[in-house]
Amino acid sequence: MNDKSINMITSIAKINKPLKLVSGKIISEYDLKYETYGKLNKEKSNAVLICHALSGNHHVAGYYENDKKPGWWDNMIGPNKPIDTDKLYVVCLNNLGGCHGSTGPTSINPKTKKIYGSDFPIMTVSDWVNSQKELMSYLGIPSWSFIVGGSLGGMQAFQWTIQNPTLVENCVIIAAAPKLTAQNIAFNEVARQAIMKDPNWHDGNYMEKGVIPSQGLALARMLGHITYLSDESMGEKFGRDLKKTKLNFNYDVEFQIESYLRYQGEKFVTGFDANTYLIMTKSLDYFDPIKDFGNSLKETFKTVNSKYLIISFTSDWRFPPKRSRELVKLLLDNDKNVSYSEINSEGGHDAFLMDNKDYFDVMRSFIDEANNGI
Amino acid sequence: MAFRKDLLLISSWIKPNSKVLDLGCGNGELLRLLELDKNIHGYGIDNDVINIKKSLQNNINVLQMDLDEGLKDFEAGSFNYVVLAQSLQVIKNPKLLIDDMLRVGDEIIVSFPNMGHWLARLQLFFKGRMPITSNLPYRWHNTPNIHLCTINDFLDFCEKNNYEITEKYIADSKQKTSFLTKLMPNLFGEIATFRIK
């Protein structure tokens, strides 16, 4: 259903303040593409930041003209939805290093006048938080009523609270973890290798050659996609269904799941940049705020006044419930206000994007109660 | 909001500004009451997502966890009080949980419906059937209550495990004490509440 009532603005913030990255590199100026929904109230107390995950972007809700599909989290965000744009002012941006309108590897490097390509620096979650804070100032928002994110987005939400302890009233972290395991990093490495072994990779400067490493990027996406689904959900959707009536004893697409994965891979390469994919996976691998803050974490937490809601899904094996529980324990050990819900779902990691009554009710209960103060 | 009377009793035992963990917190009523009256910092635990929603609507911190897995996410001595109000009977291994509660809390509060109450005894004696009371409305096949006990059973259990009872309150159905509940608590008490160290 095309929901025309959503008050959506898409724009670009030009940030001229240099951003010093964790790597030591500096981005002197950059664009952040963002979208807003709803209205900032007089007290400026109803702003919500949505942080996107690996392949997300600023278009989180609503429909563009002539589009059949809405933004990537349209079921969660909109009028009368759990994140209610009739009450809240929702902001979502394309992260720096992305490929949907913010400065990233496909942009022109102002210093060299050439496409960044692999020269674009590796971003960390901490760098993203700093750039998002610039957008916050740009939009005249004094603090966030909520920061909400799933997966890598949840990691950004968490990082926000410890990096800016007084600027986040409520933090919702969904299907995330305090750091990646060896298995998580292993999947990311295979994805990167698939991209970098593509004959069209050209050390990351493929755009100059007028090609894209589409085979590698498609493979990376196919692998990723498997890890976002559960065995149950794949079994239910595809089982051992065949594309044709019988086995043909060749290596063409035979099973429906093969067809589906190939389609997902091919679709992905038309809208996503390979260098951005590498940056996103690296930022995931590097994320480890507990180690980064070290001994100062306890002191930092004393000043954090955010209230947290952590949500996990039973069938998520990329970031399973026990990983969310690690975050919960960390917050409990530091006497922070935290609630936790483990939602029964067969959706795997991607469950955070799917409709689920319990999940949506939990979100709504937390958000509405916290909203009573607004 | 009118609070449950057995929760008002528990509240009266809790010092202001303390830290409280409420196991089987239901809709979060006890913690809501304690936050309003005693300015405590608290967390509830429940394993039913419906109770998670209700607790969030009551604006309390609530954690969806299974008490049968113990309190492994909680550090020793990290709470002033750990409360188990009328949920003892659903726990798979009461001793393990109570030991864990004593590890996490400076003191613990445990309450349960008394199976030794005369109405329960009469049902078993005259009808020859498992008792059904206002506190225990289930039938034998659909009850979540797998470890029901009488007050005397619980006293034996505490003695055997060296749990030190520092205070107890045996109440009738109106959550009041009477001559009878004092004289013969195991026969006339409906809800028993204990403070244990």
User: Do A127 and A258 sit in the same domain of this protein?
Assistant: no
Cβ-defined contact of B73 to A328 (cutoff 8 Å) = yes
Quick check: A212 pLDDT over 70? yes
User: Do A277 and A160 sit in the same domain of this protein?
Assistant: no
Q: Express each pLDDT in A242-285 by its tens digit.
A: 998 889 999 999 999 999 999 999 999 999 999 999 999 999 99
User: Do A272 and A309 sit in the same domain of this protein?
Assistant: no
d(CA A130, CA A127): 5
d(CA A107, CA A105): 6
d(CA B136, CA B138): 6
User: What integer is the mean pLDDT of A279-304?
Assistant: 96
Q: Which residues contact A313 (CB under 8 A, 6 or more apart)?
A: A175, A321, A342, A343, A344, A345, A347, A348, A349, A351, A352, A359
Task: Report how many domains make up chain B.
Answer: 1
- A59 part of the active site: no
Q: Which domain holds residue A192?
A: 184-281
d(CA A266, CA A260): 10
Question: Does A3 map to a domain?
Answer: no
Chain A hits for B32, CB-CB cut-off 8 Å, are none
CA distance B53 to chain A (A): 5
What is the percentage of chain A residues whose pLDDT exceeds 70? Answer: 98
Q: Express each pLDDT in A16-57 by its tens digit.
A: 999 999 999 999 999 999 999 999 999 999 999 999 999 999
User: Do A218 and A265 sit in the same domain of this protein?
Assistant: yes
pLDDT of residue A373: 55
Q: Express each pLDDT in A359-371 by its tens digit.
A: 999 999 999 998 8
pLDDT of residue A2: 47
The complex's ipTM works out to: 0.95
Chosen from B64, B72, B73, B78 to mutate, greatest number of chain A CBs within 10 A: B64
Q: Which domain holds residue B133?
A: 5-196
Q: Express each pLDDT in B12-44 by its tens digit.
A: 999 999 999 999 999 999 999 999 999 999 999
- A349 part of the active site: yes
Cα nearest neighbour of B42 on chain A: A337
Quick check: A5 pLDDT over 70? no
Spacing of C-alpha B78 from chain mean position: 20
Task: Report how many domains make up chain A.
Answer: 2
Q: Of A281, A298, A329, which closes a domain?
A: A281
User: What integer is the mean pLDDT of A354-363?
Assistant: 98
Specify the CATH number for the domain of residue A236: 1.10.1740.110
User: Do A258 and A305 sit in the same domain of this protein?
Assistant: no
Block mean pLDDT (10 aa), chain B, length 197: 86 98 97 97 98 97 97 98 96 97 98 94 94 88 94 97 97 90 94 96
d(CA B113, CA B170): 10
Q: Of A234, A250, A281, which closes a domain?
A: A281
User: What integer is the mean pLDDT of A171-183?
Assistant: 98
Chain A hits for B59, CB-CB cut-off 8 Å, are 369-370
Query: Would you say B164 and B196 are in contact if contact means Cβ atoms under 8 Å apart?
Result: yes
Chain A hits for B61, CB-CB cut-off 8 Å, are 337-339
Q: Express each pLDDT in A229-251 by its tens digit.
A: 999 999 999 999 999 888 999 99
pTM above 0.90, yes or no: yes
β-strands B165-171, B191-196 pairing: antiparallel
Q: Which of A74, A84, A127, A316 is catalytic?
A: A316
Q: Which of A151, A230, A315, A324 is catalytic?
A: A151
CA distance A343 to chain B (A): 8
DSSP assignment string, B157-178: HHHHTT--EEEEEEE-TTS---
Give the H or E element holding residue A226: helix A214-228
CA distance B37 to chain A (A): 18
- A361 part of the active site: no
In eight-state DSSP terms, residue A16 is -
Average of per-residue pLDDT values in chain A: 96
* Confidence tier at A60 by pLDDT (50, 70, 90): very high
User: Do A200 and A115 sit in the same domain of this protein?
Assistant: no
* Beta partners for residue B46, in sequence order: B64
* Confidence tier at A1 by pLDDT (50, 70, 90): very low
